Amino acid sequence: MIPLEDSPVTRDGKALILAYDHGLEHGPSADFGSVPETLDPEQIFEIGTHDAVTSLAVQKGVAETYYPSYDDSVNLLAKLNGTSNLWTGEPYSPQNWTVEYAAEIGADAVGYTVYSGSNHETEMYEDFRKVQEEAHSEYDLPVVMWSYPRGQGLKNDTKESVIAYATRIALEIGADMAKVKYPGSRESMEWAVQSAGEMPVVMSGGSKVSDYEFLSSVEAVMDAGGSGLAVGRNVWQRDDPEAILDALEQVIFEDATADEALDE
């Protein structure tokens, strides 16, 4: 495992990953319609320059086109695989760029989705193995795993036991950090964090909710021993992304409660 304390994609060992791969995963109508400016990747790179953001997770085309103007102000997390919402088969996320190419563009870390439980699990583990070994042995790049159990056999993908299994799988197959859905309570998150051993665990943001609900779940994750957050919609779908990032900075890096962060 690559220790993330000294990595540029963390601050004091904690992470706030701004995710912006939704144009591929969900499509522009689903996620950019409510705030039309979010269609423009440059707007998100601007948001990503906020001090609280430790890296920006994007796909290849967006990285190639926009990252060169931001390489001094944003850490790049190259999201190497991803699939569109138009795919209707069992979950599978193909690799869209290589570790080598991501490193050439200037990536500080790579990200990879694995759908454990899918009928394509064996292929995805094999794909992940190649990426993880190349990232570690050739480029010394940490690998953040979007660990999302899903597929025909899984009725509830945010159940406590499923999320703990998700963090454990990430540890077992060699991730340096796992990004998982929030299992609903601090206790459940604690179990997921413990299941990951020394590997850091961050919460996946999810669809937009109120400031208080969102910050409270982040507070619960931090109290549970989590290492932060990977978030998209709950930041850039807000009217004032900077204000929520100010609050997140306090909760993630300064041990503030949701109430304290909202009072500022």
Closest CB to ligand FBP among residues 37, 133: 37
- The count of chain residues that interact with ligand FBP, using the rule CB under 6 A, is 13
In terms of Cβ atoms closer than 10 Å to its own Cβ (0-12, 13-18, 19+), residue 135 is: buried
β-partners of residue 203 are 180, 229
Phi, psi of 58 (to 5 degrees): -140, 165
Q: Map the footprint of ligand FBP across residues 213-242, applying CB under 6 A.
A: 230-234
Q: Which residues contact 150 (CB under 8 A, 6 or more apart)?
A: 91, 115, 117, 118, 157
Q: Map the footprint of ligand FBP across residues 135-164, applying CB under 6 A.
A: 146
For residue 212, the minimal CB distance to ligand FBP (Å) is 17
Choosing from 148, 165, 181, 182, the catalytic residue is 148
Choosing from 60, 79, 179, 181, the catalytic residue is 179
Q: Which of 143, 138, 148, 96 is nearest to 118 (CA)?
A: 148
β-partners of residue 58 are 78
148 in catalytic set: yes
Closest CB to ligand FBP among residues 230, 252: 230
Among 16, 25, 199, 200, binds ligand FBP (CB under 6 A): 25
Q: Is 200 in the site for ligand FBP (CB under 6 A)?
A: no
Residue 115, SS3 per DSSP: coil
For residue 53, the minimal CB distance to ligand FBP (Å) is 13
Phi, psi of 16 (to 5 degrees): -130, 95
101 in catalytic set: no
Catalytic residues: 148, 179
Binding site residues, ligand FBP, CB under 6 A: 19, 21-22, 25, 146, 204-206, 230-234
